[in-house]
Amino acid sequence: MTLLVSVFAAIISTVLWYKNAPKNEMKLGILCWLFWGASLMWLVDAIFEYAELKAAYFTPAPADMLNDLFLGLSVVALALIIWLVILLVSDPKGVVKKALFKKKAN
């Protein structure tokens, strides 16, 4: 479930990145790297788990599924926070800078 949430987040962020490219004002590429990197790693985790559990891998207990979904959503929230911090610190549109300085009236 965590892998599934991460893959969907990766696909959505990649589509949004492509839609806005070549403009990089929102730094959506960060989200793509975060989600694709995690998805690839969780894919490996899933393959090893499948090798161990075989078909039982696809029929998890409802409590495990819910916990994994909760984890997946928390991972998405963490990635969005990382992206937001980088976006506000790098401030590509100069919005934060403008908010911190007021032009002197002549």
Task: Give me the residues that bind other proteins (CB under 8 A), please.
Answer: 2, 6, 29-30, 33-45, 47-48, 71, 74-75, 78-79, 82
Output the smallest distance, CB 45 to other proteins, in A: 6
Nearer to other proteins, 70 or 98 (CB): 70
Q: Which of 15, 27, 22 is nearest to 88 (CA)?
A: 27
* Distance in Å, CB of 93 to other proteins, minimum: 22
Contact in structure between 20 and 28 (CB atoms under 8 Å): yes
51 or 105: CB nearest other proteins? 51
Close Cβ partners of 51 (under 8 Å, ≥ 6 residues apart): none
Q: How far apart are CA 67 and CA 2, in angstroms?
A: 9
